[in-house]
Amino acid sequence: MIKKSLIGISVLALTVVGCGKGGGGGEELAVVNNVTIPMVDYFKTMERKNRLTAFVNPQALAADPSSGRLGTQLTVVQPSPSLAFQALQECIANEIIRQVAKDEAVYPKPEDVEAEIKLEEERDPNFVKNLSQEGLSIDQIKSELTLRLARLNLQAKGVTVTDADVDKFVKDNPAQFTVPAKAALQYIEVNDQKTRDLADKELKEGQMFAAVAQHYSTQPNGKEMQYRFPEETIANMAPALQKLVGETKEFTATKWVFDDGRKKWVKFYVQRKTKPQPVNMNNYLRQMVKRELQRTKGARSQDPNKRIAEKLKTSKIEIKVKYLEEPWKKAYAELTKPKDEPKAETTGAAK
């Protein structure tokens, strides 16, 4: 009997986002140390913002019935502060980062940005095309890449990472540079033993697994998904399913198992299995490793966040949007409020 649901999956998404300096004129959002942030950049940030601070009602979250753990799921949240104010904060923070990078002479040059585009196109030849289809102009794309490089340069200032350092890290951490074992699965899930036995009868008679699944399986969107199991990386599957896949050959169905988490009978068909294999360490991946090592070493020797915060505290910032003026004043006052001095301890003799 399976103690944990076999169907739990988490999905992560990454993208390039930020309040850029492209897009030309329009109304003003704010002026930071005599540098204007136009409203067009603010609106673009709002359109593409993929992270926000919010309150989450724990009662709205569903826990796995077998483990009691909260998994990745969709829910309604209450942004706090407002999404509009969070976008303003992001735009101002990014402008401060740009200015600190210029102050410290590590601001990226145009040729650095062109090289960054070429590096991204090694990963994805359609990098610029895809971002253009999301509504970004080439100036906005370059602006976001400039900001990315400015952050990196601040984190890695004074840090040296050689090709030999990269080679050593790859050699010492093989698991991080291995494509994990995978399995492409189809599955049938049914509510009771009677339906299970009817499906099993047709499978034993030689019916195709997908055809039997279409006849009996109850999972949502099963037909549209061709009854494919959505996770292929074996290590990400529930332990019980990992064991099933490990003991089942390709082009073969597993035994029926009862998924105690979902209260369903489940049977899987293993279409394909691949063994772990080393990642092809191309130039793009080597550069990503080098940058991560730079960030790690830089974090030990310096704190760019502290320099950015100090710059923000001493900056002249004028908000040009009326409904954002008061929230900014309150946030800025809190940021710049002097910290309470620790009270000196007194001994009994001094009283």
CA distance linking residue 52 with residue 322, whole number of Å: 22
Q: What mean pLDDT is predicted for residues 103-122?
A: 97
Give pLDDT, residue 7.
Answer: 38
SS (H, E, C) 172-227: HCHHHHEECCEEEEEEEEECCHHHHHHHHHHHHCCCCHHHHHHHHCCCCCCCCCCC
Structure tokens at 146: 């400039």
Q: How many CB atoms lie within 10 A of CB 203?
A: 19
In the DSSP assignment, the letter for residue 254 is P
Evaluate if residue 20 carries a pLDDT over 80: no
CA distance linking residue 35 with residue 295, whole number of Å: 28
Structure tokens at 101: 């990078």
pTM for the whole thing? 0.72
Query: pLDDT tens, 215-261?
Result: 999 988 888 899 999 899 999 998 999 999 999 999 999 999 998 87
Strand 178-179 with 182-190, pairing: unpaired
For the chain, the average pLDDT equals 86
Which band of pLDDT confidence, cut at 50, 70 and 90, is reported for residue 317? very high
Evaluate if residue 16 carries a pLDDT over 50: no
CA distance linking residue 234 with residue 241, whole number of Å: 8
Which band of pLDDT confidence, cut at 50, 70 and 90, is reported for residue 21? low
Query: pLDDT tens, 59-97?
Result: 888 775 545 667 777 888 888 899 999 999 999 999 999
Q: What mean pLDDT is predicted for residues 294-323?
A: 89
